[in-house]
């Protein structure tokens, strides 16, 4: 109440501008000491209290917004590029499921790890149909990779793999999805972020492998990666049967070989190449039986039924 009563609401303030300055000083805790509130106006004290509470709420909200913006991990990991297709080919004589990832923006994520899960319908022993049943697919180096350059990630199709019985024909008929999750920390805050993709049967190429896109530049003395070709693949020889059948054939063949021939056999290319030399009318079962009898291998003497020196 300006000019009402013996005492003013704010001692030393007589104009609107002085009251406004007093409000600002109270809000920011400046306190020059010229103006002081009195008990003359209870409503003024209530208004001042509300103003201070609202000011604290606004300050806290602003600090929270700025802090959250600063510590929020940037979308770096999510910008990682995955190859458009995955491939199934041989590596060191074993069938492998392979895909490629590429850090096109050179973000250098830390502690990068990849997890691969196959989702497929599963029938339990009790007859229950479980949709999207998860089966883990193990990776080389336990899924830990350094994404400093384009990297191919490999899953060996062994007896523990959900792809152990997969054939090229199954890629046309099966319904499943292979989900790939890449997680890693940013080099600024260290917080973990994720990127994800998946491969359907139609996106898996059997008998292909990724072309090498990392080359050594002699002129500049460094390696150069052609990231634009990260999806490039090439045809390679690959068996037309499952990894299980390859293992069965390999076990049966080893019984016919001596130690020296066994070591030589391990250096040879996959038995799938010999399958391709058989007559097209032979089924996989027929080829397997011939191999067991020693009748079809180029290094076997079928007439004497013993190995050649």
Q: How many CB atoms lie within 10 A of CB 240?
A: 14
Domain residues for 226? Answer: 77-235
Q: What's the confidence (pLDDT) of residue 73?
A: 58
Whether 3 maps to a domain, the answer reads no
| pLDDT of 268 higher than 70 | no
Whether 176 maps to a domain, the answer reads yes
Give the residue, 106 or 169, on which the prediction is more confident. 169
List phi, psi (to 5°) of 209: -145, 160
Are 301 and 156 found together in one domain? no
Q: How far apart are CA 186 and CA 52, in angstroms?
A: 39
Whether 4 maps to a domain, the answer reads no
Q: What's the confidence (pLDDT) of residue 255?
A: 67
Are 109 and 180 found together in one domain? yes
Rounded to two decimals, the pTM is: 0.63
Are 83 and 198 found together in one domain? yes
Which H or E element spans position 68?
helix 42-71
Beta-strand relationship, 204-206 and 86-91: parallel
How many structural domains is the chain composed of? 3
Are 149 and 229 found together in one domain? yes
Are 93 and 192 found together in one domain? yes
Q: How far apart are CA 86 and CA 180, in angstroms?
A: 11
Contact 240, 168 (CB under 8 A): yes
Are 29 and 103 found together in one domain? no
Which H or E element spans position 173?
helix 168-173
Can you tell me the mean pLDDT for 221-228?
Answer: 86
Which H or E element spans position 177?
strand 176-185
Q: Calculate the average pLDDT of the chain.
A: 76
Are 64 and 175 found together in one domain? no
Indicate the residue among 47, 71, 95 that finishes a domain.
71
Q: What's the confidence (pLDDT) of residue 33?
A: 66
């Amino acid at each position: 109440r300006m000019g009402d009563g013996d005492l003013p609401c704010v001692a030393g303030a007589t104009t609107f501008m002085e009251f406004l300055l007093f409000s600002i000083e109270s809000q920011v805790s400046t306190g020059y000491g010229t103006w002081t509130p009195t008990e003359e106006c209870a409503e003024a004290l209530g208004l001042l209290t509300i103003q201070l509470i609202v000011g604290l709420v606004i300050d806290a909200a602003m600090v929270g917004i700025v802090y959250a913006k600063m510590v929020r991990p940037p979308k770096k990991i999510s910008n990682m590029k995955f190859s458009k297709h995955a491939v199934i080919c041989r590596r060191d004589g074993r069938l492998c499921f392979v895909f490629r990832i590429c850090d096109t923006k050179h973000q250098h994520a830390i502690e990068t790890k990849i997890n691969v899960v196959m989702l497929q319908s599963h029938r339990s022993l009790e007859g229950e149909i479980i949709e999207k049943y998860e089966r883990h697919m193990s990776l080389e180096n336990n899924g830990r990779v350094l994404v400093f350059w384009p990297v191919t990630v490999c899953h060996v199709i062994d007896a523990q793999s959900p792809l152990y019985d997969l054939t090229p024909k199954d890629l046309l008929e099966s319904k499943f999805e292979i989900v790939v999750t890449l997680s890693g920390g940013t080099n600024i805050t260290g917080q973990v972020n994720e990127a994800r993709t998946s491969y359907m049967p139609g996106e898996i190429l059997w008998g292909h492998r990724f072309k090498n896109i990392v080359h050594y530049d002699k002129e500049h003395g460094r390696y150069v990666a052609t990231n634009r070709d990260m999806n490039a693949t090439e045809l390679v020889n690959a068996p037309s049967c499952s990894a299980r059948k390859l293992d069965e054939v390999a076990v049966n063949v080893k019984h016919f070989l001596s130690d020296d021939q066994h070591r030589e056999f391990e250096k040879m290319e996959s038995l799938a190449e010999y399958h391709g030399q058989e007559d097209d009318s032979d089924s996989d079962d027929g080829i397997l039986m011939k191999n067991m009898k020693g009748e079809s291998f180029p290094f076997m003497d079928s007439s004497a039924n013993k190995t050649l020196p």
